[in-house]
Amino acid sequence: MKLAEALTERADAQRRVEQLRSRITANARYQEGEEPAEDAAALLAEAEQVLTRLRTLIARINRTNSTVDLGPDGTMTDALATRDVLRLRHSVLTSAADAASGHGVRQLRSELRQLTALPVKALRAQADDVARELRTLDGRIQQANWTHELLEQGPVGSR
């Protein structure tokens, strides 16, 4: 199984757990004299099976990510950390540029003039550079996801 396939399966399992959680809570109590729409105990057992599979997938994905070498980006784990920080950096820069430009702020003539404390043009250029770097890194991550096999499950607690 390719890493990308495991990531898709992990996302499906996470969604399934959330759906089951919602159905369990909706059927955990019912009115006397009526029957619940679904068997909450059976749903709970199904959730446990999905969670067991999810734990195995996450462990295998993490094990694989720590061994996949992306060259100058380090391991896949390193690249994922870099990608997360790039996303945050882009968000901070665009928020700062929006705030400094007065984006969404209306000013009346009777109010005191507001001045910008940050260089909006430079912030937007920086945000564009970060977005470009993020897209490039994300492309390398996606390529690796489709070219690397998921490592087998080792013993619990081992590396």
Confidence of residue 159 (pLDDT cuts 50, 70, 90): very low
User: Stretch 2-18: mean pLDDT, rounded?
Assistant: 98
Judge whether residue 35 has pLDDT over 60.
yes
Closest CA to 149 of 54, 50, 63: 63
Rg of the Cα atoms in the chain: 24
> What is the H or E stretch that residue 106 is in?
none
| Predicted TM-score (pTM) of this structure | 0.82
Rounded CA-CA distance 12/50 in Å is 10
Rounded CA-CA distance 17/26 in Å is 14
The pLDDT tens digits for 42-76 are 999 999 999 999 999 999 999 999 999 999 999 99
User: What are the boundaries of each domain within the chain?
Assistant: 3-147
Token representation of residue 39 = 């068997």
